[in-house]
Structure 1
Amino acid sequence: MTLVSNDGTFALGFFSPGTSKNRYLGIWYNNIPMQTVVWVGNRINPINDSAGLLKIEASGRIVLQVQNTTAVWSTNTTASVQNPVLQLLDTGNLVVRDGNDTWKNWDDPSPGDLTYGVELEGNPEMVLRKGLEKYSRSGLWIGSRFSGGPSSPIFDYEFVWNENEVSYTYFLKNKSVISRVVINQTESARERYTWNPETQSWRQNIIIPTDYCDRFGLCGPNGKCDTNNLPVYCQCLTGFRPAWPERWNSFDYSGGCVHSKPLNCQEGDGFIIIGNVKSPDTTNSWVSKTMNLKECRDECLRNCSCMAYTNLDVTRGGSGCAMWFGDLIDIKQLQSDGQDLYIRVSASEAVLMAELKKKPKVNLAIILPTVIGAFLVFLLVVRYIRMRRKLTDEVEEENPSDKENEDMELTVFEFGTIAQATDGFSFHYKLGEGGDTTKWTRIAVKRLSKSSGQGLTEFKNEVKLIARLQHRNLVKLLGCCIQGEERMLVYEYMPNRSLDAFIFDQMRSKVLTWSKRFQIICGIARGILYLHQDSRLRIIHRDLKASNVLLDSEMNPKISDFGLARAFGGDQTEANTNRVVGTYGYMAPEYAIDGMFSVKSDVFSFGILLLEIISGRKNRGFYLANQSGNLIEHAWRLWKEDEPSVLADDFLVETGNLSELLRCIHIGLLCVQQHPDERPSMSSVVVMLVSQNELPSPKQPGFLFCKKPFEADCSSGNDGPSSRNEISLSLLEAR
């Protein structure tokens, strides 16, 4: 049985979602080939067979029964009608319907704990909740939109807010567009989709939370979240300081911030303005639609509990008044279209900020040349004091080609200069740390740990190798520092940190669309090709992983960390070592087990990285219910079952270039094949990525049956016995 709306847009009937065999009563788009369900009736009590009956009682109640007896679902409407008619409206609604439209997941339409709607606590705003907890919110309605986001080119909005009614409605500007809203329990998000008839797919237009800073209360009381302030999102509001500095510097922002100088309400406080923000949580707020901004300020100043105020309506020059009392919660910095928020601070703090703003613009004509001149003098001084140290020590016996290296010069910075640039190596500016280094910003400084078992050898090695390398997909070394036991490398700063911070983070991964990921994949491949083929020496990186791929402001990838790299000279293609170093989860089997490394070792690591970028999951620590093995084994299993797209992150499959994505999975499996000779070279990989030529079928990957590659029972998969070097292992943790 199927009931279709008058205009043919929607249909009502029975269906089975996803892979489920259960039957449900639902409504879906009738004129779209991809079945997209928008409403479910018996979501809690599915029908296990096809014997379901939908009927209308005389009372007007709609009932779904199994075997004509047991009711598994019904409406709560009991209005009496003489001739009840079940009607599916052109809007997609039944005359009486269940109002809860969230599913637990795509295979289970039973209600989840995610809800979205207008909340009236304090003053009205749209709130997304997980259970009882606020998860994300819109900010106040400010005349034409909510303060937390820009207007939409697709919709017109209407927000009714008076003594008798609060309601929010949106209308499609183009009536021919098909659009729907989904509460995605799996991603904890509210998503807006429009149907694209050309690609025959749903395209995501809006997602809430939009980014990491849309998570409610992330930076604690009186904190501000700014996604453009990488790597530290949270900042104290101007005039405030961390309530618990040690916790704050350890990235625990729950304690929030307090006033830098105490308020004195009786003697008079002041206000400073913070522009372009989403208004604070409205729970403890008050509004007046008749006050102007000056009256709003005076009223707030008279109330010692009032901590901030602003215009209620920002259209047509601004009008109305909104005030907040107590701590300010969940402020987000926007780039544009936000509100100007006036925050209460001590009178002296307000005077100081006012004086700074009163500086006449003409002063820039004096200040700017002075600053530029001082900077030029600084550069001259640095050039004058630069030390022409020759790093001619032999790296180690594994790099015989370095004996022929020419002497080179590299800018050597004084320890004090770097300490000043990093604010005394403040924890606040720390980017991350690995097994033997700590990294800092704004120039990126890699400071070798004094307790590291590696250190000097790797330091010299990295200086010698990377100082010679020039490629857009390799990080640029600016200089170094050697003073006592201190050894530091100074790199160009990468504002978006490392690749792993995006692909393995549930929220930030959405920033990397498939087109951006493909761009990153191609950039990494070109960088490795340069190392293997186009540089003066053939360089084997030996530690390719997501945390060693840095991203610049435009998300261009740059390979970093050459401390473990080795250079080959002449016709050398492989080498053997008694000391295996690298990161578990990325090592090629012949290297981890037999100590043999070559360009094909890097190809294997690139294959792992490729599969991680596509799946959003780490090879190490990979877990899937009811299945064993790592990410490689999972990918291989799906390949053999002819379902490789299941490996990819769902939103990449839905929004990306599927044929391009499947080709990359194919290339990844070719790169992680068991035997090095069967893996493609990086030059072949680069060609494969950009061409449409047919690819060879991949063979069994390496480490397919190994829980850990260094356990006694772990085999590299060789068919026959093999002689093995006695080697020592130095594993680095993947960051």
Structure 2
Amino acid sequence: MKGFRPMFQSNWDMAYWSDGCVRSTPLDCQKGDGFVKYSGMKLPDTRSSWFNESMNLKECASLCLSNCSCTAYANSDIRGGGSGCLLWFGDLIDIRDFTQNGQEFYVRMAAADLGIVLLSLVLTLYVLKKRKKQLKRKAYMEHNPKGGENNEGQEHLKLPLFDLDTLLNATNNFSNDNKLGEGGFGPVYKGILQEGQEITVKMMSKTSRQGLKEFKNEVESIAKLQHRNLVKLLGCCIHGRERLLIYEHMPNKSLDFFIFDQMRSKVLDWPKRFLIINGIAQGLLYLHRDSRLRIIHRDLKAENILLDNEMIPKISDFGITGSFGGNEIETNTTRVARTLGYMSPEYAREGLYSTKSDVFSFGVLVLEIVSGKRNKGFNHPYHDLSLLGHAWTFFMEDRSSEFIDASMGNTCNLSEVLRSINLGLLCVQRFPEDRPSMHSVVLMLGSEGALPQPKEPYFFTDMNMMEGNSSSGTQSTIRLLEA
């Protein structure tokens, strides 16, 4: 952004941007800092933030200016008529511009930079507007060279394509030694490209009903999704009837590899688990609200949360049939997620699906991460409730501390863990309208205020009955409810 420069220019020039940027002029409260307004933005990561729902924007600005550590502010809920105050402290991480349904926020700047930044913003907006007009005109002339011809369907789809020979070499001809597993999409392999980059290759099963055109359209859409808590799609390969997806490789496998194993779970102390919970929430918020298309994951589970070499969580398997236009409310699908233990009641019983169903799955994940136990197949010597019912019972008896995974030892921040249990129970409430949105979830994770009292979750005690209900919906129409 204007008023900032790369921390390491040489790395930046080589397209290594992970070190981020620093201010051109350091902030100085004594010399009178000010704010620059940015519009159409995805707000920064809220882990180092604070919010107050009762303050207006003017009060929010005054509060931020009075605190030398405050680096930016915005409304916490633009849908409520511009109400609430959200403040950031320290670095501003993961800002994106010109996203769909972007918000306005105000960045603190040194007095010396304010005039320069404002002038640069005006010039940048002018150039972008002019460029947009030129591109629209060029596109119109290309598709309508004679003013009325319809060339629909003849445009060339630009996709990140891999050559099949490259993937054969990378995976040693898809050898069993390189096979990582097999999911609903098909077999998955680890590969190493000639330049040394590790990749994960998913090969579409021959039984898939997806056509080539649908595959290309979906891959082109998914490739534009960019978030640090989503597994990055590097490209695809189409060779005859073979269709493959190439992703960045995650060396620490998936979340279930750690949390459900008695020995490996000790690697994940509470600070790591809380960072994983936050990362999953940030990734889901991006899919639900901030991505170009509204993405409903439909199969969020521990197996689909991959971990990089720093244990940062990345949501995977979010793409092939899960993207929808902003106005689309209904779709037919033959790929219904049927992972028992994570399905919301309305999806299991009636095939109804919305962003709130993803919220339900997220709530199950939170309770699994805290307890170290699976919801599916959970059993207890004194009752036949699911893990959700077990957590609810402890919560109502004020015994939630007994729900915590003992393998975390003395690393627990008790108030943070109990707050996470409360949040998980809010997410698994029986009715979708009672569950919070992922926007609210992220705000609650980043604050310390009191959380609402959750209502009783729906207890799935008969898993066979649930499986029967879910399988009957495989060919059903899945209605996407606006949440």
1:487 counterpart = 2:247: no
CA distance in 2: counterparts of 1:462 and 1:562, whole angstroms: 11
CA distance in 1: counterparts of 2:234 and 2:414, whole angstroms: 40
Q: CA deviation at 1:545?
A: 0.9
1:423 counterpart = 2:168: no
CA distance in 2: counterparts of 1:454 and 1:584, whole angstroms: 24
Q: Which residue of 2 aligns with 1:298?
A: none
SS in 1 for 2:278: helix
After superposition, residues 538-549 of structure 1 pair within 5 angstroms as: 538-549=294-305
CA distance in 2: counterparts of 1:585 and 1:700, whole angstroms: 17
**Given that residues 276 and 313 in structure 2 are in contact (C-alpha distance below 8 angstroms), is that contact kept between their aligned partners in structure 1?**
yes
CA distance in 2: counterparts of 1:624 and 1:532, whole angstroms: 35
SS in 2 for 1:419: helix
Q: 1:594 to 1:458 in 2, by over 3 A?
A: farther
CA distance in 2: counterparts of 1:674 and 1:653, whole angstroms: 32
Q: Which runs of 5 or more structure 2 residues have no equivalent in the other structure? A: 1-151, 191-197, 478-483
Letter in 2 for 1:610: V
**Given that residues 448 and 455 in structure 1 are in contact (C-alpha distance below 8 angstroms), is that contact kept between their aligned partners in structure 2?**
no
- The structure 1 residue matched to 2:315, chosen from 532, 537, 559, is 559
- The structure 1 residue matched to 2:271, chosen from 502, 515, 528, is 515
Q: Which residue of 2 aligns with 1:97?
A: none
Letter in 1 for 2:395: W
Letter in 1 for 2:346: E
Letter in 2 for 1:476: K
Letter in 2 for 1:540: I
Q: Which residue of 1 aligns with 2:23?
A: none
Q: Which residue of 2 aligns with 1:533?
A: 289
Q: Which residue of 1 aligns with 2:410?
A: 654
- The number of residues matched between the two structures is 316
1:433 counterpart = 2:188: no
Q: 1:500 to 1:461 in 2, by over 3 A?
A: farther
**Given that residues 238 and 244 in structure 2 are in contact (C-alpha distance below 8 angstroms), is that contact kept between their aligned partners in structure 1?**
yes
Tell me the alpha carbon deviations over residues 65-105 of structure 1, each in whole angstroms, 9 at most, x when there is no partner. xxxxxxxxxxxxxxxxxxxxxxxxxxxxxxxxxxxxxxxxx
- The structure 2 residue matched to 1:696, chosen from 440, 446, 452, is 452
**Given that residues 447 and 489 in structure 1 are in contact (C-alpha distance below 8 angstroms), is that contact kept between their aligned partners in structure 2?**
yes
CA distance in 2: counterparts of 1:453 and 1:622, whole angstroms: 35
Task: Please report the RMSD computed on the Cα atoms of aligned residues, expressed in angstroms.
Answer: 2.8
**Given that residues 341 and 376 in structure 2 are in contact (C-alpha distance below 8 angstroms), is that contact kept between their aligned partners in structure 1?**
yes
Letter in 1 for 2:176: F
Q: CA deviation at 1:479?
A: 1.0
Q: CA deviation at 1:458?
A: 8.0
- Report percent identity of matched pairs: 57
SS in 1 for 2:440: helix
CA distance in 1: counterparts of 2:214 and 2:423, whole angstroms: 32
Q: 1:726 to 1:614 in 2, by over 3 A?
A: closer
CA distance in 2: counterparts of 1:576 and 1:701, whole angstroms: 28
Q: CA deviation at 1:495?
A: 1.1
Q: 1:460 to 1:623 in 2, by over 3 A?
A: farther
Q: CA deviation at 1:685?
A: 0.3
Q: 1:465 to 1:647 in 2, by over 3 A?
A: farther
CA distance in 1: counterparts of 2:414 and 2:357, whole angstroms: 28
Q: CA deviation at 1:470?
A: 0.7
After superposition, residues 250-649 of structure 1 pair within 5 angstroms as: 408-441=157-190, 442-452=198-208, 459-460=215-216, 462-563=218-319, 565-570=321-326, 575=330, 577=332, 579=334, 581-582=336-337, 583-649=339-405
CA distance in 2: counterparts of 1:546 and 1:520, whole angstroms: 11
Q: 1:454 to 1:645 in 2, by over 3 A?
A: farther
CA distance in 1: counterparts of 2:214 and 2:305, whole angstroms: 18
Q: 1:711 to 1:536 in 2, by over 3 A?
A: closer
CA distance in 2: counterparts of 1:615 and 1:455, whole angstroms: 42
SS in 2 for 1:518: helix
Q: 1:425 to 1:458 in 2, by over 3 A?
A: farther
SS in 2 for 1:691: coil
CA distance in 2: counterparts of 1:710 and 1:487, whole angstroms: 33
CA distance in 2: counterparts of 1:699 and 1:630, whole angstroms: 16
**Given that residues 332 and 476 in structure 2 are in contact (C-alpha distance below 8 angstroms), is that contact kept between their aligned partners in structure 1?**
no
SS in 1 for 2:202: strand
After superposition, residues 107-256 of structure 1 pair within 5 angstroms as: none
The structure number with the bigger radius of gyration is: 1
CA distance in 2: counterparts of 1:656 and 1:520, whole angstroms: 14
Q: CA deviation at 1:510?
A: 0.9
SS in 1 for 2:463: coil
Q: CA deviation at 1:641?
A: 2.1
Q: Which runs of 5 or more structure 1 residues have no equivalent in the other structure? A: 1-402, 717-724, 731-735
**Given that residues 202 and 245 in structure 2 are in contact (C-alpha distance below 8 angstroms), is that contact kept between their aligned partners in structure 1?**
yes
SS in 1 for 2:187: strand
- The structure 2 residue matched to 1:664, chosen from 405, 408, 420, is 420
**Given that residues 342 and 364 in structure 2 are in contact (C-alpha distance below 8 angstroms), is that contact kept between their aligned partners in structure 1?**
yes
Q: Which residue of 2 aligns with 1:381?
A: none
SS in 2 for 1:581: coil
Q: Which residue of 1 aligns with 2:475?
A: 728
CA distance in 2: counterparts of 1:461 and 1:611, whole angstroms: 36
Structure with more contact order per residue of length (Cα contacts < 8 Å, sep ≥ 6): 2
Q: 1:453 to 1:570 in 2, by over 3 A?
A: closer
Q: CA deviation at 1:637?
A: 1.9
The structure where helix makes up a greater share of residues is: 2
Letter in 2 for 1:609: L
Tell me the alpha carbon deviations over residues 488-542 of structure 1, each in whole angstroms, 9 at most, x when there is no partner. 1111111111111111122211111110010011011000001111111211111
CA distance in 2: counterparts of 1:472 and 1:508, whole angstroms: 24
**Given that residues 564 and 581 in structure 1 are in contact (C-alpha distance below 8 angstroms), is that contact kept between their aligned partners in structure 2?**
no
Q: 1:428 to 1:660 in 2, by over 3 A?
A: same
Letter in 1 for 2:270: W
CA distance in 1: counterparts of 2:450 and 2:465, whole angstroms: 33
Q: 1:517 to 1:408 in 2, by over 3 A?
A: farther
1:707 counterpart = 2:463: yes
CA distance in 1: counterparts of 2:462 and 2:456, whole angstroms: 13
Q: 1:571 to 1:451 in 2, by over 3 A?
A: closer
Q: CA deviation at 1:653?
A: 5.8
Tell me the alpha carbon deviations over residues 403-451 of structure 1, each in whole angstroms, 9 at most, x when there is no partner. 99x9752221121110110111121122222133222223111112224
CA distance in 2: counterparts of 1:436 and 1:469, whole angstroms: 19
Q: 1:414 to 1:564 in 2, by over 3 A?
A: closer
CA distance in 1: counterparts of 2:235 and 2:344, whole angstroms: 32
Q: 1:589 to 1:455 in 2, by over 3 A?
A: farther
**Given that residues 542 and 565 in structure 1 are in contact (C-alpha distance below 8 angstroms), is that contact kept between their aligned partners in structure 2?**
no
**Given that residues 178 and 189 in structure 2 are in contact (C-alpha distance below 8 angstroms), is that contact kept between their aligned partners in structure 1?**
yes
**Given that residues 474 and 527 in structure 1 are in contact (C-alpha distance below 8 angstroms), is that contact kept between their aligned partners in structure 2?**
yes
Q: 1:727 to 1:486 in 2, by over 3 A?
A: closer
- Normalised by the length of structure 2, the TM-score is 0.60
Q: CA deviation at 1:674?
A: 0.6
Q: CA deviation at 1:651?
A: 2.9
Q: 1:610 to 1:417 in 2, by over 3 A?
A: same
CA distance in 1: counterparts of 2:156 and 2:429, whole angstroms: 40
CA distance in 1: counterparts of 2:424 and 2:474, whole angstroms: 29
Comparing 481-490 with 512-521, greater Cα deviation is found at: 481-490
